[in-house]
């Protein structure tokens, strides 16, 4: 035993005990996982005695021939896919496998700029050359996809995210048709849409809209355990053999049977009980959204095509003076600290509250009552200036990140900041060297590392991009507001190429 190890061990918190203590605090989860700790609804608890390995009679996920093969086939049936794989390393391993299995080293890939960091990791690992398509008010424009593909016939695959973290949905069916005209596959990061297709209140799931590869995070919006996800494949454009190989290479060789049992329970839940459960869920959501929409200061955000399971609540404009601004982070903190309601995330001007079929009437009532009380307090502020332009919130802040830009000229300007691909940037680091600079000094320089707010994990800055003055200013502001910026090695700074 190392010196002091015994004392340190005695002082260390027990994760299990800490989790048990937190479960008894009264905090209500308006965040993932979607099971919302509602064991009464789910009807099962998953204790230690269920944690086994690949013993006789329980199959092997990497060479499934028995029960796991049958369960994955059942999942494909429930989700209207031709082939489905259990994922116990989250949607991350599904996205890595889909991108790397659909491309060869050095290929070009068309990807939405608001893709999750795992897509960027796949681009780096396979040394791909990304061509970015920028969301317009959160959604991907099918016409823009067509234009870019016509200008870049060497693109081998397309990746988009729908719904976004805030719930904005793209026209997947039109995009799939355009992509298929070029004979290449469409990869859909539908991680936040595992509940799609089980009730007309929600959009259809992308397996039914022509997508070749679809990734769902069960744990985000359904009653399932964290890390549980599904990868679906359809049609002949997806290189299924290579994708399967990457899943086996990248996924744990010791998949948890507790997680797989959680996937099974979740898929059976939506496959067998979706009608009654989702009817009640939708009624609950409609009532909540109706009440929130009546608030005078706080605004309920949604677009024409939207996932209404997300309750995205924006704050009003309290004038230009910083002292009068009520931010999304402040709303997040008030909900958490005063009302014991834990939101999923905060942005500069809104919070994201995630719901699921496992939410209770009591939990929803606590949320609405809290928002009504907060709204009443804000309405009393003398300097409050009403601003009903919901587009302002979606455009200015919904990719928190200024990558959803309303003005086409400004979007085109942002496209010009791409200098090197992430893999090329690594070579440039060795050639030119790099240095860490403060946010306020990084404008105009070429980034040598990622920077993102987590959640949701969408890169604000990608290695190889020339950092705009606007983004540099925003990053500095987010840090002052208390947001957690990840990806950078030094707090308050970012690595940039020397003479980049």
pLDDT in tens, 237-285: 999 999 999 999 999 999 998 899 999 999 999 999 998 999 999 999 9
**Could you tell me if residue 28 is inside a domain?**
no
- Domain for residue 408, yes or no? no
Could you tell me if 198 and 54 lie in one domain?
Answer: yes
Q: Which pLDDT score is estimated for 324?
A: 52
Whether 467 contacts 446, CB under 8 Å? yes
Please tell me whether residues 54 and 193 are part of one structural domain. Answer: yes
In a domain, 15, yes or no: no
CATH value at residue 243: 3.40.640.10
Per the domain annotation, does 12 fall within a domain?
no
Asked if 182 and 313 sit in the same domain, the reply is no
The pLDDT tens digits of the residues spanning 110-157 come to 999 999 999 999 999 999 999 999 998 889 999 999 999 999 999 999
| Whether residues 176 and 100 fall in one domain | yes
- What pLDDT score was predicted for residue 382? 47
188 and 73 in a common domain: yes
CA-CA-CA-CA torsion sign (151, 153, 159, 160)? positive
Query: Do 285 and 199 share a structural domain?
Result: no
Confirm whether 8 is domain-assigned.
Answer: no
Question: Do 57 and 83 share a structural domain?
Answer: yes
Last residue of a domain, one of 234, 254, 271: 271
Q: Which two tokens stand for residue 407?
A: 């003005």
Residues 181, 303, single domain; the answer is no
Q: Tell me: pLDDT of 404 over 70.
A: no
- pLDDT digits 0-9 by tens, 186-199: 999 999 999 999 99
Within a domain: 52 = yes
- Domain at 452, CATH number: 3.90.100.10
Do residues 229 and 104 both lie within one domain? yes
Could you count the other beta carbons within 10 Å of the beta carbon of residue 498? 15
335 and 383 in a single domain? The answer is yes
Q: Are residues 87 and 203 in the same domain?
A: yes
Structural domain including 96 reads: 48-271
Distance CA 142, CA 152 (A): 15
Q: Strand ranges (DSSP E) for 162-288?
A: 186-189, 213-217, 229-233
- Would residue 349 count as lying in a domain? no
Number of folded domains that form the chain: 3
pTM over 0.75: yes
Query: Which comes out higher in pLDDT, residue 215 or 387?
Result: 215
Domain boundary among 271, 296, 324: 271
In a domain, 9, yes or no: no
Contact 358, 42 (CB under 8 A): yes
């Amino acid at each position: 035993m190392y010196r002091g190890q015994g004392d340190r061990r005695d002082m260390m918190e027990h994760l299990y005990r800490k989790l048990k203590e937190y479960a008894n605090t009264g905090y209500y989860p308006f965040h993932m996982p979607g099971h919302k700790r509602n064991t009464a609804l789910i009807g099962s608890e998953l204790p230690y005695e269920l944690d086994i390995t690949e013993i006789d009679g329980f199959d092997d996920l990497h060479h499934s021939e028995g029960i796991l093969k049958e369960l994955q086939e059942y999942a494909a049936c429930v989700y209207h896919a031709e082939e489905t794989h259990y994922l116990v390393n989250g949607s991350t391993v599904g996205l890595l496998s889909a991108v790397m299995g659909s491309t060869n080293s050095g290929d070009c890939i068309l990807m939405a700029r608001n893709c999750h960091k795992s897509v960027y990791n796949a681009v780096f690992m396979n040394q791909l050359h990304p061509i970015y398509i920028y969301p317009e008010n959160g959604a991907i424009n099918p016409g823009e996809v067509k234009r870019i593909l016509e200008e870049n016939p060497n693109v081998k695959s397309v990746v988009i995210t729908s719904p976004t973290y805030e719930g904005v949905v793209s026209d997947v069916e039109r995009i799939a048709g355009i992509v298929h005209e070029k004979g290449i596959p469409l990869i859909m990061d539908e991680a936040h849409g595992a509940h799609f297709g089980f009730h007309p209140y929600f959009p259809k799931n992308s397996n039914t809209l022509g997508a070749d590869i679809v990734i769902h995070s069960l744990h985000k919006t359904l009653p399932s355990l964290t890390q549980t996800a599904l990868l679906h494949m359809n049609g002949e454009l997806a290189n299924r053999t290579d994708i399967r190989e990457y899943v086996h290479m990248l996924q744990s060789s010791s998949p948890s049977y507790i997680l797989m049992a959680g996937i099974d329970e979740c898929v059976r839940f939506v496959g067998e009980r979706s009608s009654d459960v989702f009817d009640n869920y939708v009624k609950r959501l409609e009532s909540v959204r109706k009440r929130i929409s009546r608030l005078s200061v706080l605004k309920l955000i949604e677009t024409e095509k939207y996932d209404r399971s997300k309750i995205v609540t924006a704050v009003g404009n309290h004038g230009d003076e910083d002292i009068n601004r009520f931010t999304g982070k402040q709303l997040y903190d008030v909900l958490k600290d005063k009302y014991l309601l834990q939101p999923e995330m905060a942005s500069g001007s809104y919070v994201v509250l995630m719901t699921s079929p496992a939410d209770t009437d009591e939990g929803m009532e606590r949320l609405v009552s809290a928002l009504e009380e907060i709204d009443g307090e804000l309405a009393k502020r003398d300097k409050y200036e009403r601003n009903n332009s919901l587009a302002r919130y979606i455009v200015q802040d919904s990719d928190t990140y200024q990558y959803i830009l309303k003005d086409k000229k400004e979007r085109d300007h942002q496209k010009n900041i791409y200098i090197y691909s992430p893999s090329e940037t690594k070579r440039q680091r060795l050639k030119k060297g790099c240095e860490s600079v403060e946010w306020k000094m990084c404008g105009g320089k070429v980034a040598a590392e990622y920077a993102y707010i987590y959640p949701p994990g969408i890169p604000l800055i990608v290695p190889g991009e020339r950092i705009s003055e606007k983004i540099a200013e925003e990053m500095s502001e987010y840090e002052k507001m208390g947001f957690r910026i990840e990806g950078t090695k030094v707090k308050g700074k970012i690595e940039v190429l020397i003479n980049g």
